């Protein structure tokens, strides 16, 4: 039911793209993790400080 509701809200094509992205895996090297963690901690700090516009997200 949840999937049907989301599909109705965002459209079938976008829903299928999101499902495919959610099921995709990616290989991240150990040295890349440090940069990712550093960026996410910085973004969390900005959000907690009241600067949500600084949040840019991270996509693989």
pLDDT in tens, 2-21: 788 888 888 899 999 989 98
Domain limits for position 21: 2-54
Average predicted confidence (pLDDT) for the chain: 81
Do 32 and 24 touch, CB atoms closer than 8 A?
no
- Residue 28 located in a structural domain: yes
The verdict on residue 60 lying in a domain is no
Residue 43: inside a domain: yes
44, part of any domain: yes
Residue 39 has pLDDT above 50, yes or no: yes
**Domain count across the chain:** 1
Length of the chain: 60
Q: Which DSSP helix (H) or strand (E) runs through 42? A: helix 30-48
For CA atoms 18, 6, 54, 22, the dihedral sign is negative
Residue 13 lies in a domain: yes
Tokens 């600084």 sit at which residue? Answer: 54
> Is residue 56 pLDDT above 70, yes or no?
no
């Amino acid at each position: 039911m949840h999937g049907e509701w989301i599909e109705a809200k965002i459209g079938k094509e976008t829903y299928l793209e999101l499902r495919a992205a959610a099921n995709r895996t990616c290989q991240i090297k150990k040295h890349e993790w440090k940069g990712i963690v550093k960026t996410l901690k910085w973004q969390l700090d900005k959000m907690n400080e009241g600067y949500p516009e600084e949040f840019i997200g991270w996509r693989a």
